[in-house]
Amino acid sequence: MVLRAPGADTTDAEAGIDAVPVPEDSINNIQLMWYQNPKSTDLSYYRIYRSEDELGEKNYDLLVSKALRQPGIPDTIFIDAQDLKQNVRYYYYVTAVDKDGRESENSDTLSYRLLETASNLSLNGNSTEITTPEMRFEWWMNSGATPDLYILRVEAFISEDFHPIRYVKVINSTYNTPQSYTLSGEYLKEL
């Protein structure tokens, strides 16, 4: 997971997500962020709840009670790494608890699903030589899952610390395996 400013998303479809490589056979985490009510003076801690079923709060489990204002630790960020599985939709809400132990109403419920990393990405069939004026990307998901869309980002590798994004495309799924996309013509000149 990479922390980026909200304006760092490159497309509307990418808002709030960032695809970064993780070690093979590993699961990423889910990060929740919220704003503290600036008018609240008696807030004591937050409770974060999670469920795999969106039907009512009785199906939600308390994940953590998060204390406020611990030096050096932001109190409105929570990273869920507890028993997460790929291709499972998780539902979350947050409540605030005051110094008298009174719990607020539930926040809006948000949902997230961790998708597996696309496998075996190839460029022009893994050819060592590009002989045509196009770049053909091909990939698939090992589980056979087919998300509704993919985000293809082509970056220029300038150095270990600098690789600017040169091209971004939201690709609608064809619901076939493998998926493919060909970049050609004027777009290649931009790279």
Per-chain mean pLDDT for the chain: 75
What does the pLDDT look like over 116-171, one tens digit per residue?
777 667 777 776 666 667 888 888 777 777 777 777 878 877 888 787 888 888 88
| Fold exhibited by the domain 29-113 | Immunoglobulin-like (2.60.40)
Please tell me which residue, 49 or 164, carries the higher pLDDT value.
49
Q: Are 168 and 191 in contact (CB under 8 A)?
A: no
Q: What is the pLDDT of residue 101?
A: 92
Q: H/E element holding 12?
A: none
Residue 85 has pLDDT above 70, yes or no: yes
| Residue 48 φ/ψ, nearest 5 degrees | -115, 130
Query: Where in the chain are the domains?
Result: 29-113, 119-190
Full DSSP string of 140-182: E-TT----SEEEEEEE---BTTB--EEEEEEEE--S-SSEEEE
Report how far residue 182's alpha carbon sits from residue 111's, in angstroms, rounded to the nearest whole number: 32
Q: What is the pLDDT of residue 187?
A: 66
The pTM (predicted TM-score) of the whole model is: 0.58
What does the pLDDT look like over 87-98, one tens digit per residue?
788 999 999 898
Residue 7 has pLDDT above 50, yes or no: no
Residue 50 has pLDDT above 60, yes or no: yes
